Amino acid sequence: MVFEVYQTLQFSGASEVGNSGEEGFFPPVDLNEIKIDSSAMNTAAILPSPVLLWRFKIFLFLFWGITGCRVAWVSVMRMSADLRDLFIYEAFLYYNPLLLITFMVWLWGVNLWVFAQSSVNYAKIFDLDHTHLTHLEIWKCATWMTIVVPTSMTAYIYLYSHGEVSLAASQPVILYAAVLMILIFPFDIFHLSSRYYFIRTLWRIALPLQAITFSDFFLADILTSMSKVLSDLERSVCRMVNKQVATIAWFEADSICGSHAVAIPLVLVLPYLFRLFQCLRQYRDTKEKTCLFNALKYSSAVPVIGLSALKYHVFAERWASFYRPLWLLSSVVNSLYSFYWDISRDWDLSVFSRIFKFKNPNLVSSVFYGRAWIFYWVIGSNLVLRCTWTYKLSAHLRHNYLTVFTITALEILRRFQWVFFRVENEWNKMNLKPSLQLAMEEIPSEETRLRGASNHDV
């Protein structure tokens, strides 16, 4: 058929040459080009449309979700009523941290998507190279996490309910080991540069021996909102190391990894100590007293966590009469101090003069921050969630896992909306510095002004 097309084109070209001379010249046709075009057309006809592929992926995702929920529900109902609550708490302890981290990754992708639609250059703010992850790549990672973590949890519940205790115990261990291996994998796959950037930033947070960058204290601030997640991670790893996964050992509420463990308050307080040391390092480098006030804010969280941990180490009467009032007082101080710092420092909002506008409004501020009710919502919700987050550190909530999960998820949402204001404020500061430098250069010195005053006509 290609040969017939070629002959037809040659014949038409020859006839036009005969009739019209040079004006009817038809260039020769390359057979390879015709073959390539025809193969491309056939391939395009075979491949389904992107919309159809997207709908098929959504269908598979929904089918997987409904099937997983059905299998988990039937497996839980197979257990006896006295063991059901204990086992759900056990399963929740292992998978709750990874589920909340997945939730945070999804919201971080939303943050990057909003910044990508605006003039806020977040890559410049965080000093990222051209290989940094986009919001689409972040969402792709979050999608895989959304699939893998609930699948492992469903397998854990199903295997245990059917008597396969050893196989059930291996599920969270395999999942945690896989996450760790992917994170530290040294080869150039799974976004090596981004993983290295993340690990390097964590190392700089743990050991603030150098100048503190924006990404250092930004990630450390996020870790303070994830302190309960880190504490649950420690408890999960502790149970795995001590072989308490899916065994009778989880009846022992006060064992090595139980509520009396000293490691729980230590892990809870670590993110706040990291930020405290960062503030002290910043004061050493800049000599700004603001860094000391910021350090005081993070140090105010230490009494809250310490007094809360005393509940398991003192008599109930002593706790109710003496330590609980101290805990309430320290909680109020920490919550109000943190709320004030969010509004006046991190977001750079003046309650009296600039509560509903920014110094340098851009697309993000005009679309998301331009309406008064959004500001009322952000400020009000930030105050409420600051107080509930401090209340979550109370020791008596450790076994109320659904309440703790809800409060932690709300704290992640608070941090999610905090990111918008904090990053844009930093972008405004970066844009304001060149303007201030130019303005300072344009101001004449005192010697120049004196010379100008002496050169006058009498």
pLDDT band at 343 (very low <50, low <70, confident <90, very high): confident
Cβ atoms of 122 and 423 within 8 Å: the answer is: yes
Q: Between 26 and 99, name the one with better pLDDT.
A: 99
Sign of CA dihedral 227, 228, 233, 234: positive
pLDDT for residue 370 is more than 60? no
How much is the average pLDDT of 381-386?
88
Q: Please give the Cα distance from 278 to 381 (Å, whole number).
A: 27
CB 13 within 8 A of CB 25: yes
Q: Which of the two residues, 379 and 16, has the higher pLDDT score?
A: 379
150 Cβ neighbours under 8 A, 6+ residues apart: 65, 68, 95, 99
So where are the chain's domains?
Answer: 2-45, 48-446
Give the range among 59-63, 223-227, 267-271, 440-444 with minimum mean pLDDT.
440-444
**pLDDT given at position 393:** 56
Which residue would you say has higher pLDDT here, 151 or 18? Answer: 151
The structure tokens 């057309």 sit at: 41
The yes-or-no verdict on residue 285 having pLDDT over 60 is: yes
User: CA–CA separation, 348 vs 354, rounded Å?
Assistant: 9
Give tens-digit pLDDT for 13-66.
Answer: 444 444 444 444 445 545 455 555 555 555 555 666 777 888 888 888 888 889
What would the two tokens of residue 171 be?
Answer: 């599920």
Most confident of 274-278, 307-311, 335-339: 274-278
For residues 26 and 193, which has the higher predicted lDDT (pLDDT)?
193
> What pLDDT, in 10s, does the model give residues 68-85?
889 988 888 888 777 777
Higher pLDDT, 240 or 275: 275
What confidence score (pLDDT) does residue 129 get?
79
State the pLDDT at residue 165: 84
Mean pLDDT of 393-419: 79
Q: How confident is the model at residue 107 (pLDDT cuts 50, 70, 90)?
A: very high
Given a cut of 70, whether residue 272 has pLDDT beyond it is yes
Q: What is the pLDDT of residue 396?
A: 54
User: pTM higher than 0.85, yes or no?
Assistant: no
Greater model confidence, 329 or 428: 329
- When pLDDT is cut at 50, 70 and 90, the band that residue 220 belongs to is very high
Mean pLDDT of the chain: 78
The vertex-204 CA angle with 121 and 198, nearest 5°, equals: 55
Which of 123-137, 155-169, 179-193, 346-360 has the least mean pLDDT?
A: 346-360
What mean pLDDT comes out for the span 409-421? 91
Q: pLDDT at residue 4 above 80?
A: no
Share of the chain above pLDDT 70, in %: 73
3-state secondary structure the chain: CHHHHHHHHHHHHHHHHHHHHHHHCCCCCCHHHHHHHHHHHHHHHHCCCHHHHHHHHHHHHHHHHHHHHHHHHHHHHCCCHHHHHHHHHHHHHHHHHHHHHHHHHHHHHHHHHHHHCCCCCHHHHCCCCCCCCCHHHHHHHHHHHHHHHHHHHHHHHHHHHCCCHHHHHHHHHHHHHHHHHHHHCCCCCCCHHHHHHHHHHHHHHHCCCCCCCHHHHHHHHHHHHCHHHHHHHHHHHHHHHCCCCCCHHHHCCCCCCCCCCCHHHHHHHHHHHHHHHHHHHHHHHHCCHHHHHHHHHHHCHHHHHHHHHHHHCCCHHHHHHHHHHHHHHHHHHHHHHHHHHHHHHHCCCCCCCCCCCCCCCCHHHHHHCCCHHHHHHHHHHHHHHHHHHHHHCCHHHCCCHHHHHHHHHHHHHHHHHHHHHHHHHHHHHHHHHHHHHHHHHHCCCHHHHHHHHHCCCC
Return the pLDDT at 416.
93
pLDDT of residue 26: 46
Instruction: Give residue 276's pLDDT band: very low, low, confident or very high (50, 70, 90).
Output: very high
